[in-house]
Structure 1
Amino acid sequence: MSAAVLALGTGAVTVSGCVWYVPAVADLRAGADRPVSRRLAAAGCVAGWSAAAAVTALLLLGAPAGLVLGPAAAGASASVLLRVRAALRLRRERAEDARCWSALAAVPPPVRPVPQRVFVRRAAAGLLSAAGAALALLTWGPSAGAGGLFALAVPAVLAGAALAVAWAAAARGRTARDPVLTAGPGEVRPGGARARGQ
């Protein structure tokens, strides 16, 4: 595979990764408004995709393989390290939340997926599939008799279907009502007080 084709595939995947690194940049810009674990995870995401962009640029410039592998290894290492730190921090944050809820003698509310995250996950999976299909068709399509229009139409259809499915899933998440924590007769309210029937 030539460097130009590899650069095209890497660039397509990097562009489709915007559904991950654009929200991550927003989390970093929010600063203290986001938990530390979320900011660490966002930093790992940005580090990984920045390395992918650097690799794409080096491939387009015709850099040797040794020079290309340097940013790739550095970005992957930084991304993994930050993600591990984010996971450890998230465990501590959840344990602290559980202690606070137990001190209030209440059950913590269930964790439900945020509609925006549902959209990002579904769209990311579909767009990555579309990028992979585009790379495969551009690489092996001409030898199999697939024209350029077909190589563009299939990824476009896959990307459109992925965005439609992601939008529908996020819309269902927005319309779903979260359970309201209420205390009936004889049940314990936060703080230990019991609800009395009227």
Structure 2
Amino acid sequence: MSHAAAALGVAVLCASGCVWYVPAIVDVRAGADRPGSRRLAATACLTGWGTAALLVPLLLAAAPWALTAAVAAAGAALTGAQAVRGRIRHNLEQREEARRWSALRHVPHAATRTGPSRTAAAWTLAGIALIPGLATALLLVR
């Protein structure tokens, strides 16, 4: 395959990848408004697409295949490392959020109820007693 054909293929691939890297740019630019894990994942996405975009001029300049492959491998390794860091951070954030929610859901032991309340029981018994009476009244009216 010629270098020009490979460059054209990578350029078209990069152009079609805007559905991934444009939202990633927005996430990175949002800064502290986004969680750290999301920013790391966006950085990994941008690194991967940036590496692919960097391959286009290398292919157009007819750089040796070994150099092109080395740049692609280095970009893939960096992208993978950032993605793993983002995933680890996401798991830590999820655990921290679970701890926060569990602290909010903590109810003192004395305030817990073990069974239905008296009000619910009264309404249930009233409904059970009232339904046969209403059914009988409806049958007698016809």
Equivalent residue, structure 1, for 2:131? none
By percentage of residues, which structure has more helix?
A: 2
Equivalent residue, structure 1, for 2:140? none
Equivalent residue, structure 1, for 2:27? 27
- The letter of the residue matching 2:21 is Y
* Structure 2 unmatched runs, 5+: 120-142
Give the length in aligned residue pairs: 113
3-state SS of 2:105 partner? coil
- 1:98 and 1:38 map into 2 onto residues whose CA distance is 18
Q: Which has the higher contact order (CA 8 A, sep 6+)?
A: 2
Q: 1:193 to 1:35 in 2, by over 3 A?
A: farther
3-state SS of 2:63 partner? coil
- 2:21 and 2:76 map into 1 onto residues whose CA distance is 15
- 2:74 and 2:24 map into 1 onto residues whose CA distance is 19
Q: 1:193 to 1:63 in 2, by over 3 A?
A: same
- The letter of the residue matching 1:18 is C
3-state SS of 2:94 partner? helix
Equivalent residue, structure 2, for 1:145? none
Equivalent residue, structure 1, for 2:80? 80
After superposition, residues 42-191 of structure 1 pair within 5 angstroms as 42-105=42-105
1:11 aligns with 2:8: no
- 2:51 and 2:12 map into 1 onto residues whose CA distance is 14
Equivalent residue, structure 1, for 2:39? 39
- The letter of the residue matching 1:12 is V
| Percent pairwise identity | 52
For the aligned residues, what is the CA RMSD?
2.2
Using the TM superposition, give the Cα deviation of residue 80 of structure 1 relative to its aligned residue in structure 2, in angstroms.
0.1
3-state SS of 1:11 partner? helix
1:63-107 alpha-carbon deviations (Å, 9 max, x no partner): 11122123211211110000000111101101111111111118x
Moved over 4 A (4+): none
3-state SS of 1:104 partner? helix
- TM-score of the two chains, using structure 2 as the length reference: 0.72
- 1:18 and 1:60 map into 2 onto residues whose CA distance is 21
